[in-house]
Amino acid sequence: MNRTPNKAPKPSPAGEAVFPMRINKYLALQKYCTRREADTLIEKGLVSINGRPAVLGDKVQEKDKVEVKWRQTKYRYFAYYKPRGIITHSAQESEEEIKEILPIEGVFPVGRLDKDSYGLIILTDDGRITDPLLNPEYAHEKEYEVMTTEVLPNNFKAKMEKGIDIGGYVTKPCKVQILGERKFSITLTEGKKHQIRRMCGFFGLATSHLKRTRIMNIQLAGLKSGESRPISGTELDTFLQSLGF
C-alpha cells in the first residue's frame, strides 16, 4: 500500500506542527501511526521524502512530499469490564494484573482504573489512540457511577460541578447527577489520580463503589465483570472520528 500524507498536520494539544520537524513526529501528527511505528517503517525503507528513502532523524519541511509504503494494519478494539481488585498496570507482588486475565491476546488496556474501581476500559492493539484518548486537553468524556458510605450533602452537586480543590489542584467543571442519597453519576473530561475519591474526600465522604460506565460514545451496557465485546460498525466509526482518525 502506497499512501502519501498530502497535507501538513494541524496543531494539536499533544504537539504543534512547527517545521522543520522529525519525520516520525510528522507521521504521528498525521495520525498515520505512532512515532515508534514510524521509526520501524523508516528502518524497513518504507518511507520516502521527496522520492528518496528516509532515514531515522530526518526532518521534513511543510512542502515536502512524504510517502509511506506498507500494508495497512487492521486494528482491533474491545470494550472490557475490568473486575474489581485487578491492577491495570504495574502490579506489585501478590497483586493480579489485567494482562494476566485478558480474554483476548495481543491487546492492551488504554488508561487505568485503580484496583478498587471497576467497569469499562478500552482494549486495543492500536497505539495511536493512547494520547488522543487520555490527554485531558482533548476533553473526552468519561462517566462513572459512585456509591458513598455517607449521605451526600445538599451542596454536593453544585460544588462538584464547579470544581473541587483536591490538594493544590482545582478540578475542571464536570456534570453530576444525583441518583440516591448515597449514589451519584459524574462525567469528567480529565483523569487525575484517584480524582473522584479525592473529590468526595473534600466533603468527608468515602466511596464504597466506583464503576466507569462510559468512555466517549462507548458504553459498558450489558457487559458483566470480566466480559468483553468488539467495538465495530457505527460505534467504532464515531469513536475513531472523535479521536481524529
Residue 167's identity, in one-letter code, is G
Enzyme catalytic residues: 114
- Kindly give the pairing relationship between strand 175-180 and strand 183-188: antiparallel
Q: Are the CB atoms for 8 and 62 separated by under 8 Å? A: yes
Q: Interior CA angle at 224 toward 218 and 225, to 5°?
A: 100
Residue whose C-alpha is closest to residue 34's, from 122, 136, 133: 133
